Amino acid sequence: MKTHLNLMPMRYRRGQLIRRRLKQWSVWWLLAAGCTVLLGWTQWSQYQAGAAKLASLRVHYEPLEAMKEDVSGLQEKIGALQRRESLALSLADERSMLGLVGLLSQARQACDGRVSIGSLSLNRSGESQSAMSVLTLSGVAVDDLAVARFTTALREAKAFIGIDLKSTGNATVGDMPARTYTMECTF
């Protein structure tokens, strides 16, 4: 049972209903907008804090980046120096080979051309500076005396640790008798 009766015109009641609903919904819309603004402000604050931290980390990272570039530059320099060292060592090794050939030539001249060197080979026992190397010589001489003089001339050069005459044999060069020899020179 109704205790009151609304005699207001329908148009007025409709306007009243619209105003009431607008007040209700405007509260909800204002709360939603306030929450959105609050959430946006929180996100913006986090973004600003992250940007500040990123800037700080970049400032701390710059010396590391410079060091990284320095390290790569130094590694390139080390590689270049190692290549130059390798080249210098190979050139020094070639010079020592030329020196050995010169010593062999001088020892052969000491025999008045009575000895010829047919072949020579170099065997290295290691890559280090203190490695032993063996030079194997083989050739032809006029007689045993020429082989002995050649061996003595090599020993007098004092370039070798040891000179071992491994073998001698008979041979003929043209129609003349000759002696073949094989010797090892250690240095």
Which pLDDT score, from 0 to 100, does residue 180 have?
A: 92
Cβ–Cβ < 8 Å for 105, 153? no
Per DSSP, the three-state class of 1 is: coil
Per-residue pLDDT of the chain (187 residues; tens, 9 = 90+): 778 777 888 899 899 999 999 999 999 999 999 999 999 999 999 999 999 999 999 998 998 888 999 999 999 999 999 988 887 776 666 556 777 888 888 888 888 888 988 888 888 776 555 567 888 999 999 888 899 899 998 888 888 888 888 888 888 888 888 999 999 988 7
CA–CA dist 131, 76 (Å, integer): 30
pLDDT of residue 87: 77
Place of tokens 């020179």: 185
pTM, to two decimals: 0.49
Query: Counting Cβ atoms within 10 Å, is residue 139 exposed (0-12), middle (13-18) or buried (19+)?
Result: buried
Q: Say if CB 185 and CB 154 are below 8 A apart.
A: yes
pLDDT value for 18: 93
Query: Do strands 115-124 and 162-173 pair parallel, antiparallel, or not at all (unpaired)?
Result: unpaired
What pLDDT is stored for residue 91 in this prediction?
Answer: 64
In terms of phi and psi (left: phi > 0; alpha: psi -120 to 50; beta: otherwise), the region of 112 is left
pLDDT at 99: 78
Cα torsion through 137, 138, 144, 145, rounded to 10? -40
Strands 176-186, 162-173: pairing kind: antiparallel
134 within 8 A of 123, measured Cβ to Cβ: yes
What was the pLDDT predicted at 81? 92
